[in-house]
Structure 1
Amino acid sequence: MILPQKNLLAEEASPYLRQHAQNPVYWRAWSQAALDEASTLDRPILLSVGYAACHWCHVMAHESFENDEIAGVMNRFFVNIKVDREERPDIDQIYMASLSAMGEQGGWPLTMFLTPDGKPFWGGTYFPPRSRYGRPGFVQVLEAVEKAWREKRDSLNQSAGGLITHVASRLSATQPKALLDRQTLPRLADGIESMIDWNEGGLKGAPKFPNAPFMTALWLSWLQNGTAAHRDSVLLSLRKMLAGGIYDHVGGGLCRYSTDAYWTVPHFEKMLYDNAQLLRMANWAYAATHDELFRLRIEETIGWLLREMRIENGAFASSLDADSDGEEGLFYTWSQDQLADALQSDLPALAIYYDLAAPSNWEGKPILRQTDEQRHREVANYPIVAGLKAKLLADRATRVRPGRDDKVLADWNGLVITALAECGRSLARNDWIDLAAQAFAGILAAAENGRLPHSILGDRKLFPALSSDYGAMITAATALFEATGDAHYLGVARNLAEQLDQWHADPDRTGYFLSASDSSDVPIRIRGDADEAIASATGQVVEAVIRLSTITGDIALHEKALTVAEHAQGRAGQQTYGQVGIVNSCALALEPLKLLIVEDPTQASLVAVANRNPDPRRMDIAVPFGGTAPSLPGDVVPPTDKPGAYLCMAQSCLPPVSDPDALEQLLRTKTA
């Protein structure tokens, strides 16, 4: 089968793919038809993987894919396939692992050369159009690969076969299960702590990423063992991030990462998943410290989500570009003159709270950031600062906006829904819980035949969902149940868990694959064990099933969750820091906490205590007077005619408490 010899991306659902629809390259989306075309033409495949907010993806597109001469070489020698890594993480992870196995540094854009049947034989990331930066030019690369394909095909096929076998053994294989060990998490957290930059937070050196799986491991280790250094490293990192240039002080929200060691100059793309994880961690930090910085940044970031990221069905778009009007950071940076025009007589006040930073290696306009002293001043005088920010935001609204990737990803939205529900509980913001419920309903409304899509863009949907979609949405459902008490969400969570089992379980029922069993175009069904900026699909699934089994008290489900966790831990033992999400979720599996509160809803003082003391290990159930209380471990059914809070770990419960102060002390004792 030979597809039309033209660019075929115009009708794709992915905004990233459609960004390339006018390229002179004969792009195809990843599909069995594109693979069949390569076999029919007996040509190698040029695979290019990126995402809409990726700065260097845009650079390579402008330099090479929009160039008629380079496109002509690509069209003559290759079948060219373009992949949105957010839409097809199952494809991206296979070929990123292949590049790593070649000894090359990964990143995006990912540029891989494949045999017609999809086996990788060479690759890289960004290539300039002509040789520079010590890198070969893209035309030079294309011609060299084509020559090797003509003259050394047998050798390339042999090496490609060996490489894909190696990658399959890494990403799909089964390892013996490992007993869950209480010391695994603190040992890992000790290792992470040794890499912390105790001056600036985050890991030592540059670039600096938020690295939520690492920060979560440190926080869980503190909760489990009371290791103050693990808690303090997270608090330091969050404070430095939230005062740095990586945070959008005018509009709210966190950028993807900082290019320097001081959180000053970000790549300005804003990703939904980074901000979902920021909200959760800032919520934990606020509960532990009562530092108003965390509450303010939660409010600002949710304000940004509502203002700039929410779409028609109540769910949230994926990302904002780093670039606008062809320049990175143009939307977010300020010259002194621009600040003066926006603030007028208020300009001197801004210097009390913010610096303009322009490091020597930064070619753009200066970036707003704070010193520690300025951060404290802002928190103490926030109404004044909020007025300054409002003026800057109104002025900035007149600029050319960065592009928005409007596709709705089920897994990323699940992360945001959980964060909104948890923050809404902690800060008594029912409107945030309503936002979470509306986003959840928007995702479910897109299901067909009982199955979730992975991606939604208007009427276009990408089926089937990934295991990460089910994991994130099960967790979101349980978070909404905790926030609302509506048992409907538990029913949905159970249904999603059944779908996960039906379509993603491995033959031995010891774990799950990332892709569904009827995904016909994946060269390898991988497990999805490796973390990226978020916890791995496996980590998310283990957490989800543990949460569901804990809140329902379903013993069979709990046993299944433990089996999956033990086998995941066995695989994670082969990695040092690449599968932290699995270790984190296994720690939850080892010591799940359950808090059942019986109380008059009109005088919910015990529930208020639980809400303002969030603990990622704990699941909360509120039962009104006269309601039906679920059984606790040991088949104990609490009375529902008097107030009481029952805190249980695994198969044992502490004596009930009815005094709010006593419950506060009990919950805080479990976090130190």
Structure 2
Amino acid sequence: MPNRLAQATSPYLLQHADNPVDWWPWEPQAFEEARRRDVPVLLSVGYSACHWCHVMAHESFEDEATAAYLNEHFVSVKVDREERPDVDAVYMEAVQAATGQGGWPMTVFLTPDAEPFYFGTYYPPEPRHGMPSFGQVLQGAHQAWAERRDEVTDVAGKIVRDLAGREISYGDAQAPGEAELGQALLGLTREYDPQRGGFGGAPKFPPSMVVEFLLRHHARTGAEGALQMARDTCERMARGGIYDQLGGGFARYSVDREWVVPHFEKMLYDNALLCRVYAHLWRATGSELARRVALETADFMVRELRTAEGGFASALDADSDDGTGRHVEGAYYVWTPARLTEVLGADDAALAAQYFGVTEEGTFEHGSSVLQLPQQEGVFEAERIASIRERLLAARDGRPAPGRDDKVVAAWNGLAVAALAETGAYFERPDLVEAAVAAADLLVRLHLDDHGRLFRTSKDGRAGAHAGVLEDYADVAEGFLALASVTGEGVWLDFAGLLLDHVLTRFADDSGSLYDTAADAEQLIRRPQDPTDNATPSGWSAAAGALLSYAAHTGSEPHRTAAERALGVVKALGPRVPRFIGWGLAAAEALLDGPREVAVVGPSPDDGATRGLHRTALLGTAPGAVVAVGTEGSDEFPLLADRPLVNGAPAAYVCRNFTCDAPTTDPERLRASLNS
């Protein structure tokens, strides 16, 4: 019989709806039940594409004896971290503070007042590798609660007090200048892996936000070292196994330093961020590889993540059926020489094995290989390789596909809107711009309430119950701002302003510091607040960037001031931990560059010369430049006010730091002014 999770909108919670565990969702009634029964709460946090979450569920939460013990001695609460990032952030901070590490599944034992007293991540069904079994952990937590209650509550109270003392206040600091950005670049150079690209050792995550900073820093200063790190990292990733060489799109991370073996889950946010980064790399260098990867990644998102309602699903699982009924990580993606021969025949299989790096020994498990791309593509016959790739992709499409987490997350869809809008504009793919518009329409129609407040998620055309957090408001505003620049439709600027007004009134304090949850949101044991990037840009940095762009579009002093105050944290953290505040560093580059404001006016939206100036403006590399386009006298954008045609011809106006260049009708002059 299904448990309470059967009514959830989260695919991850629905995966546990038939567990014998008597799960509760995160709600006040669960903690009231714990008080009534005088038992502790087991909080289990994960997400749909998490491999070890599935493993622990199968080993423990589907086990009748384990479930019976849980049901007798605990109130069990299951949380989807992607649906409730606030809950996840608060307790992950406690886990990391207590153990020095974190991850998912996250396992936390709480008092009925939601105060944590014992922490962990994955626990096996029997002791192994120095870890206790899950059963032993449950027995220990139950005995501590029953026999040493005072000690447990003292520990929990101390943890909560310690978390309360971690509040961040950088809102009164100045935004970073040349010195801090130079120190950040130097820090990245020290951590850079010159042989393999990327930063640090294994596991290696795509450094999307850092690459965006490097591209902007090069555009503003001409620092060739910044461009080289960005270019080489992107090339190594694109040629590695972390990139799907057949279907496009990136896996979550590489388990090795060489980008060979991925953790195979594919996340919307990674692909949205990387699609945009590769498009920006092409814009800066003209790299054909960057162009291809940007377009293939955009096509992957539209083909495999787009929902029936026009939004984008959250993720594809790492695991899939291997054809024998077993769920195996990477089964959908890997190849052996024998499988190549089955699909291609002996001659083409031998060529494919050489081209994609498929060996008898394999690069993954059980002699299978993850496809990679050679450094010297030019020595292979392009038409034959294209035919091989097409046949392999068709054969792979016949395999059991990975599961899809089809909830729509507002923040990640905002990132996808920005990526698809810009990629479509750069490469003259109106279908990608249309996909961006459809996703933006869904966010307005389904995720925005009548007061301009965002719901975090939706599924199957139904909005979830949970309030949006700071990253939702900031990333959706970012997407709307990019869409406004690409489409010339000022309504997207208006919607961005609506969201950013909520940032100012509900997420900021008097000093200008930002919180991840609104002042009127559900009160947890601590109001979460984190300015550092994780898998996605921090809400703090994303808000700073969006506020800055909106101020450039509108001239709004409150938004500009809020952006500058928010960037005070980058002045403090950028020189020390640049890998973890890349989006904030990118926003700081835009601030130092102006950002530049570009207005393109023409006689009609369909005028060819106007379109040429507009495209040139969008392709400018000036960090954070904002672009408005419209007809003479249009009130779509504030930047168009008092901008006439020049001698009857379409013209572009470029302003920076309250100073404007002479208008130009020449795309080459406009290009020069935006690429210096």
Q: TM-score interval w.r.t. the shorter chain?
A: over 0.9
User: What SS class does the counterpart of residue 143 from structure 1 fall into?
Assistant: helix
Deviation at residue 111 of structure 1 after TM alignment: 1.1
1:181 to 176, 180, 186: 176
Distance 1:422 1:48 in 2: 39
Q: For 2:561, give the aligned amino acid.
A: E
- Tell me which moved more, 108-117 or 559-568: 559-568
**Alignment pair present for 1:26 and 2:22:** yes
* Match of residue 602, structure 1, among 603, 608, 612: 608
* SS class of match (2:131): coil
- Flag the 1:104–1:631 CA change in 2: closer, same or farther, 3 A: closer
Distance 2:366 2:385 in 1: 28
Match of 1:141 in 2: 137
Letter in 2 for 1:336: P
Please report how far the alpha carbon of residue 392 of structure 1 lies from its aligned counterpart in structure 2 after TM superposition: 1.3
Query: Paired residue for 1:11?
Result: 7
Matched, 1:477 2:473: no
Whether the 8 Å contact between 2:219 and 2:675 is mirrored in structure 1 is no
Q: Which moved more, 1:527-536 or 1:48-57?
A: 527-536
1:331 maps to which residue? Answer: 332
The RMSD of aligned alpha carbons is 2.5
CA–CA separation in structure 2 for the residues paired with 1:497 and 1:629: 19
Q: What per-residue deviation string (whole Å, max 9, x for no partner) do you get for residues 302-352 of structure 1?
A: 221122111111110000000012100001111222212222363344245
CA–CA distance in 2 between the matches of 1:599 and 1:445?
31
C-alpha separation in 2, matches of 1:516 and 1:124: 28
Quickly say closer, same or farther: Cα 1:53–1:84, change in 2 above 3 A: same
Question: Structure 1, residues 479-527: CA drift from partner, whole Å, max 9, x if none?
Answer: 1111111111122222222333444343x27243222333335332223
Aligned ranges for residues 167-206 of structure 1 at < 5 Å? Answer: 167-170=163-166, 172-175=167-170, 177-182=172-177, 183-206=179-202
- How far residue 262 of structure 1 moved from its aligned partner, in angstroms, is 1.0
Aligned CA distance change for structure 1 residues 580 and 307 (closer, same or farther; 3 Å): closer
Match of 1:208 among 179, 185, 204: 204
Check 1:568–1:39 CA distance in 2 against 1; reply closer, same or farther (3 A cut): farther
Q: After superposition, where does 1:329-478 map in structure 2 within 5 Å?
A: 329-344=330-345, 346-351=348-353, 353-356=355-358, 362-363=365-366, 365-374=368-377, 376=378, 383-446=383-446, 447-450=448-451, 451-458=453-460, 459-478=462-481
Following superposition, the deviation at residue 393 of structure 1 comes to 1.6
What secondary structure, in the 3-state scheme, does the structure 2 residue paired with 1:442 have? helix
Q: Match for 1:391: what amino acid?
A: R
SS of 1:472's partner is helix
Contact 1:514 1:537 in 2 (8 A): yes
The answer to whether the 8 A contact 1:631-1:637 is kept is no
- Aligned partner of 2:654 among 626, 630, 647: 647
Post-superposition shift, 1:131? 0.8
Matched, 1:619 2:614: no
1:221 corresponding residue in structure 2: 217
Question: Could you tell me whether the CA contact under 8 Å between 2:44 and 2:108 is conserved in 1?
Answer: yes
Per the TM alignment, residue 440 of structure 1 is displaced from its structure 2 partner at its CA by 0.5
Which whole-Å CA distance do the structure 1 matches of 2:295 and 2:579 have between them? Answer: 32
1:280 touches 1:423 (CA, 8 Å); kept in 2?
Answer: yes
Kept in 1: contact 2:362–2:368 (CA 8 A): no
What percentage of residue pairs aligned between the two structures are identical?
Answer: 36
Shift of 1:188: 1.4
SS of the aligned residue for 2:99 comes to coil
1:3-50 Cα shifts (integer Å, max 9, x gaps)? xx9832111111001111111111111111112222222222111111
Give the 3 Å change call, closer, same or farther, for CA 409–372 of structure 1 in structure 2: same
**Counterpart amino acid of 2:616?**
V
Shift of 1:84: 0.6
Matched, 1:658 2:672: no
Residues 269 and 536 in structure 2, CA contact (< 8 A), matched pair in contact too: yes
Contact 2:251/2:265 (CA < 8 Å) preserved in 1?
yes
SS at match of 2:246: coil
Q: State yes or no: 1:109 paired with 2:105.
A: yes
Which residue of the other structure, out of 229, 242, 248, is the alignment partner of 1:252?
Answer: 248
Q: Distance in 2 between matches of 1:403 and 1:590?
A: 44
For the pair 1:516 / 2:514, whether they are aligned, the reply is: no
TM-score (norm 2): 0.92
Could you tell me which runs of 5 or more consecutive residues in structure 2 were left unpaired when the two chains were aligned. 322-326
Offset of residue 198 of structure 1: 0.7
User: Offset at 1:132?
Assistant: 0.6
* 3-state SS in 2 of match to 1:318: strand
Of the structure 1 ranges 59-68 and 172-181, higher mean CA displacement relative to structure 2 is found in 172-181
Q: Would the alpha carbon gap of residues 364 and 254 (structure 1) be closer, same or farther in structure 2, given more than 3 Å must change?
A: farther
Q: Note if contact 1:180-1:590 (Cα within 8 Å) is conserved in structure 2.
A: no
Match of 2:545 in 1: 543
Letter in 1 for 2:81: R
1:75-101, CA deviations, whole angstroms, 9 ceiling, x for partnerless residues?
Answer: 222211111110011011111111111
Specify which of 293, 299, 304 is matched with residue 303 of structure 1.
Answer: 299
The amino acid across from 1:338 in the alignment is: R
Partner SS state of residue 652, structure 2: strand
CA apart distance, 1:638: 5.6
Q: Which aligned pairs between 1:65-76 and structure 2 lie closer than 5 A?
A: 65-76=61-72
Q: Which of 265, 270, 273 is residue 269 of structure 1 equivalent to?
A: 265
Deviation at 1:215, TM superposition (A): 2.2
Q: Which moved more, 1:250-259 or 1:590-599?
A: 590-599
Contact 1:98 1:167 in 2 (8 A): yes
Q: May I ask how many residue pairs the two structures share in their alignment?
A: 659
1:81-125 superposed Cα distances (whole Å, 9 cap, x missing partner): 111110011011111111111133111111111121111122111
Shift of residue 629, structure 1, vs aligned partner: 9.2
Distance 1:560 1:262, change over 3 A: closer
The structure 2 residue matched to 1:93, chosen from 89, 94, 97, is: 89
Contact map agreement 2:490 2:636 (CA 8 A) in 1 = no
In structure 2, how many angstroms separate the alpha carbons of the residues matched to 1:644 and 1:6?
64
User: What residue in structure 1 maps to residue 324 of structure 2?
Assistant: none
Shift of 1:208: 0.9
Cα distance change, pair 568–79 in 1 and its aligned pair in 2 (3 A): farther
Q: Within 1, Cα distance between the matches of 2:669 and 2:2? A: 70
What secondary structure sits across from 2:217 in the alignment? helix
SS at 2:117 equivalent: strand
The 5 Å alignment of 1:49-88 reads: 49-88=45-84
Range with bigger deviation, 607-616 or 234-243: 607-616
- Point out where structure 1 has 5 or more consecutive residues left out of the alignment: none
How far did 1:644 drift? 3.3
Task: State the alpha-carbon separation in 2 of the partners of residues 346 and 575 from structure 1.
Answer: 48
Deviation at 1:567, TM superposition (A): 6.2
Letter in 1 for 2:545: E
Q: Distance in 2 between matches of 1:181 and 1:307?
A: 41
Contact 2:171–2:511 (CA<8 Å) still a contact in 1?
Answer: no
| Alignment of 1:322 onto 2:318 | yes
Alpha-carbon distance in structure 1 between the residues aligned to 2:292 and 2:579 = 32
